[in-house]
Amino acid sequence: MELSSKPILPGSIVIVRDVNSIYRGYKGFVQRVTSKTAAVLFEGGNWDKIVTFQLTNLEQV
């Protein structure tokens, strides 16, 4: 897996690459970023959900 050299900022589209997460492979929009984590918004069908991930477990699209 090659990580993107671009910084992950609010508004970025990311894919979850955490092998232990049920959200692995999901694409979402970054809403908030701290020094080590990002809140990602997933929208689809009849649900919306915001989940926090470590930045190391996300890959920018």
Residue 1: per-residue pLDDT: 44
pLDDT at 38 over 80: yes
pTM confidence score: 0.86
Residue 10: per-residue pLDDT: 97
* Rg over CA atoms, the chain: 11
Higher pLDDT, residue 2 or 32 = 32
Nearest alpha carbon to residue 53 among 7, 1, 24:
24
Read off the CATH number of the domain in which 54 is found: 2.30.30.140
> What range defines the domain where residue 50 resides?
13-60
Q: How confident is the model at residue 3 (pLDDT cuts 50, 70, 90)?
A: low
Instruction: Report yes or no on 31 lying in a domain.
Output: yes
Instruction: Report yes or no on 17 lying in a domain.
Output: yes
Nearest alpha carbon to residue 9 among 48, 50, 39:
39
Number of independent structural domains in the chain: 1
Instruction: Report yes or no on 40 lying in a domain.
Output: yes
